[in-house]
């Protein structure tokens, strides 16, 4: 009897910890409630978040991509600029700057064509490009016949949606001082 009382108290204590009583009010076995509780916990727990999927890496910018964009900026047989600025593949920043430059001050010659910095279109054009992950540079040579050419670098940037847009132009090899954003417009002809 000395061993029986503590054993009964132990079983009653375990039954109380095991959860609700099943059946006629007697203690339930500790294996069944534990399994039932685990199944209930699994059913009511929120679904595990899906594994994070890495966004696909955008395709690398190629020189062909940059060449094609340069030919959109300088289209046609007598390239001078895109014409309709609204449909031109340029950044909002560059569009605003070109619109600003289109308003010529009094006593100045008429506005320059958008990107050639000229008043007339060229008779021909060639382009070679250098690509990098953020976009690249399209080196454009506009040929006006004879020995006169205009060499312009188109600074092209990749947007978050992977589109390529023109963001600036500079005279080839002459640096940021010839940018369209510079206070004074530089001619790129030679």
- Residue-level pLDDT at 189: 87
In CATH terms, 63-178 corresponds, of 3.40.190, 3.10.450, 3.30.70, 3.40.50, to: 3.10.450
Query: Percentage of residues in the chain with pLDDT exceeding 70?
Result: 64
- Give the pLDDT mean for 153-161: 96
- Residue-level pLDDT at 41: 43
CA dihedral 72, 81, 155, 71 (to 10 degrees): 30
Query: Rounded to two decimals, what is the model's pTM?
Result: 0.67
Q: 69 or 80: whose pLDDT is higher?
A: 69
HEC sequence for 50-112 = CCCCCCCCCCCCCHHHHHHHHHHHCCCCCCCCCCCHHHCCECHHHHHHHHHHCCCCCCCCCCC
- Give the pLDDT mean for 163-187: 93
Query: Percentage of residues in the chain with pLDDT exceeding 90?
Result: 43
pLDDT over threshold 60, residue 35: no
pLDDT over threshold 90, residue 173: yes
pLDDT bin (cut points 50, 70, 90) of residue 146 is confident
Domain boundaries, the chain: 63-178
């Amino acid at each position: 009897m000395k061993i029986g009382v503590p054993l009964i108290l132990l079983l009653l204590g375990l039954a109380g910890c095991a959860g609700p009583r099943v059946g006629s009010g007697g203690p339930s076995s500790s294996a069944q409630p534990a399994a039932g509780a685990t199944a209930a916990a699994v059913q009511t727990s929120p679904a595990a978040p899906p594994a994070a999927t890495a966004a696909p890496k955008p395709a690398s910018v190629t020189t062909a991509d940059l060449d094609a964009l340069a030919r959109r900026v300088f289209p046609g047989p007598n390239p001078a600029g895109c014409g309709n600025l609204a449909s031109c593949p340029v950044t909002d920043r560059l569009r605003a700057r070109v619109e600003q430059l289109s308003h010529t001050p009094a006593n100045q010659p008429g506005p320059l064509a958008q990107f050639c910095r000229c008043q007339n279109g060229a008779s021909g054009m060639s382009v070679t490009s250098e690509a990098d992950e953020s976009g690249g540079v399209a080196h454009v040579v506009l040929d006006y016949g004879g020995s006169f050419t205009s060499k312009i670098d188109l600074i092209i940037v990749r947007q978050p949606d992977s589109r390529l847009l023109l963001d600036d132009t500079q005279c080839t090899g002459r640096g940021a001082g010839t940018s369209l954003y510079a206070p004074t417009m530089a001619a790129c002809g030679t």
